Chains A and B, each alone.
Chain A
């Protein structure tokens, strides 16, 4: 009985902070989502309007566009990062075993400030003096600015995202490769399996759980993409690169439509919590294994 009350002292400060900066703000946004509240419209002063904000959302073409953009970016980016990351991991695992310093070097793009990664994208792709943009123009692949063209802007975002996150997938998989047990390989050798058979029948099944966690983290992170797009295109041209978080930003911090913006936030949150459930299960399975 004494120890039960005692537990509270360990979690109380965290619980108070969690309540103050996460739960109360979240519930505030939840109540806003049922109100008409805007800093720019004098008649929207917080009246209760039921599910009107959500109804507006259902008929908002830009809302669907933002989900479309997010998936158009997410799916190819993650497939690319998964494949390149796997190839890279297989390639570098041997060298990493000898020189662990390769891990922090490889992870520089993943961990350095995303805003600066976006800046790298803007500058290298600049058509006039950018080291890649110039090259693309000379090859005739792109006319003018890559980021100013709605056909190529999203491709550029995918490329920069892949530059940033492929090393992350590769390093997680490398850690997996280096932690693989030796026995299954000896058994495969005894059975006379060749390299390709060994890879598909032994390495891939053992590596699979690392792959799942890396990809799930990437899916959730891709859903949140904001900084890089903000620096590179601000969602443009038009709405060509306006991913979900950028769209939500437009309605909250530019139009100051708090009611509608909050409804948007809730929809995003539901999406994230579904994705996180899968990640959580994968992580849990792992920690108990």
Chain B
């Protein structure tokens, strides 16, 4: 009797191991399917950049065709829109460099020093970080017009700092909070000043955090639309802000729009993969440790 029971329980165990393995494989399969579903619209739109006008507008969707680079050549070089990519790069890199240089020490101070009203400051920083761009776009427009900054690179660079600086301070504080205070203390008992302890003992430990925050900020800046549209001239406008104006009620050159969108998306896609390990933490404002 006891023997009999043992056999059935062993058989059941085997059966459940089987069904669990089957379930795992089904879940992998469905995961793969999900990835395809989420990537499909992208790939389809990117594919339009490699099609001729007739192939794009064909009422029967063309699935097999000879790819052409004409749209890319036309929009980037003949019409000179490669400059928009450079503009995006100038704005994003300048804004992020500025905010990292001045924001990282501030984040350290917020992590280590008893700053009066610390939590209220943080609440305010987060509020402005989350406010729609239109809230600050109007007064910034008026102020920048008055100090003759409108239309220069300075305008979008400073405007992008309105969301980059809060983000840098917020996320870097969470990285500094992860570093034990004993490290600073040990460096300072060795005769380092506070600033030296920060530079030589703490900063090396958060290097990967700084890189992650910088890359994240570059993505956000690259993706920004409204400030880049309102505060710039044709010569200084970033690419994301220009794309919507290429879509017209009639006669839109879809192939060229898609080619430009593809080109503009490429750097962001690369950065996303470079950020792999820190993505979750960055997206949840440091709440989830990545």
Contact = CB atoms under 8 A, between A and B. Distances in A.
B209 to A, nearest CB: 15
Interface in B19-67: 24, 27-28, 30-31, 34-35, 38-39, 41-42, 44-45, 48, 56-59, 61
26 contacts: A10-B109, A14-B102, A20-B158, A26-B136, A26-B139, A32-B138, A95-B28, A101-B276, A104-B275, A105-B35, A109-B42, A111-B223, A112-B269, A113-B268, A115-B244, A116-B240, A217-B285, A231-B244, A252-B134, A253-B137, A272-B127, A273-B127, A276-B127, A276-B130, A280-B126, A286-B287
A142 interface: no
Contacts, number: 272
A197 interface: no
A171 interface: yes
Contacts of A284: 119
Contacts of B57: 128-129
Interface residues of A, number: 95
Contact of B257 (A109, A119, A217, A224): A119
A244 to B, nearest CB: 8
Given A10-B109, A230-B225, A94 B27 contact: yes
A106 B261 CA distance: 19
B200 interface: no
Contacts of A52: none
B126 A279 contact: yes
A91 B284 contact: no
B123 A88 contact: no
A172 B34 contact: no
A7 B115 contact: yes
A176 B159 CA distance: 34
Nearest to B198: A10
A157 interface: no
A6 B217 CA distance: 29
B182 to A, nearest CB: 18
A123 interface: yes
Dominant SS among interface residues on chain B: helix
B283 A21 contact: no
Nearest to A284: B119
A124 B138 contact: no
B108 interface: yes
Given A13-B105, A17-B165, A276-B127, 14 more contacts: A14-B165, A22-B162, A29-B136, A106-B34, A107-B283, A111-B279, A113-B223, A120-B45, A163-B38, A179-B288, A226-B225, A248-B135, A262-B139, A272-B135
B247 A231 contact: yes
Interface in A114-132: 114-116, 118-120, 122-124, 128-129, 131-132
B122 A168 contact: no
A210 B31 contact: no
B71 interface: no
Nearest to A246: B134
A124 B59 contact: no
Contact of B225 (A107, A115, A124): A115
B38 to A, nearest CB: 6
A116 B138 CA distance: 24
Contacts of B133: 224, 226, 245
B151 interface: no
A223 B143 CA distance: 26
A244 B132 CA distance: 10
A124 B280 contact: no
B7 interface: no
A91 B279 contact: no
Interface string A12-41: 011101101110111011001000000000
Contact of B138 (A88, A100, A134, A265): A265
Interface in A134-183: 134, 163, 167-168, 171-172, 175-176, 179
Given A100-B276, A175-B280, A175-B290, A115 B243 contact: yes
Interface in A203-225: 210, 213-214, 217, 220-221, 223-224
A173 to B, nearest CB: 10
Given A29-B138, A108-B38, A123 B225 contact: no
Nearest to A214: B284
Given A29-B135, A175-B280, A213 B140 contact: no
B276 A268 contact: no
Interface in B260-279: 261, 264-265, 268-269, 272-273, 275-277, 279
Nearest to A262: B138
